[in-house]
Amino acid sequence: MDGFEDLEVWKKCRQLRIEINELLKRFPDDEKYRLVDQLKRSSRSITANIAEGHGRFHYQDNLKFCRNARGSLNEVLDHLICACDETIIDTIQLRQLRERYNECFELLNGYIAFLKKKGD
């Protein structure tokens, strides 16, 4: 592996971030500095933490950033649930985004497990 861009987990999380950014364009204006801002920041945080962790020298540092990425991924899901609760998105959109979330979550957990083994 040369860089973080080669990581399958980063690629999937990037796809989720792009999909969320497209969705945010359809959010109401009064959510611009609330839910839109929160979703944009938390979705960016996922890939940013994976990238930053990959650049660290020690496995433990990388693990810390991957765990932060997992926290941001969960934050994204919570914000999407809020958007559904407030009828900004419908249950079908939430279900589709939850499928992407699940893919990212599984890959991230797999990467974390890989790093734990490699660090032992």
CATH node for 4-119:
1.20.1440.60
36-55 confidence digits (pLDDT tens): 999 999 999 999 999 999 99
pLDDT value at residue 59:
86
Q: For residue 1, is pLDDT > 80?
A: no
pLDDT value at residue 94:
98
Q: For residue 120, is pLDDT > 80?
A: no
Instruction: Give the integer Cα–Cα distance in Å for 101 and 12.
Output: 9
Model pTM score? 0.94
Which residue do the tokens 């959510």 mark? 31
The dihedrals phi and psi of 26, each to the nearest 5 degrees, come to -100, 5
Q: For residue 75, is pLDDT > 60?
A: yes
Which of 84, 81, 16 is closest to 50 using CA atoms?
16
The residue ranges of every structural domain in the chain are: 4-119
Instruction: Give the integer Cα–Cα distance in Å for 22 and 111.
Output: 27
Which residue do the tokens 């992407």 mark? 100
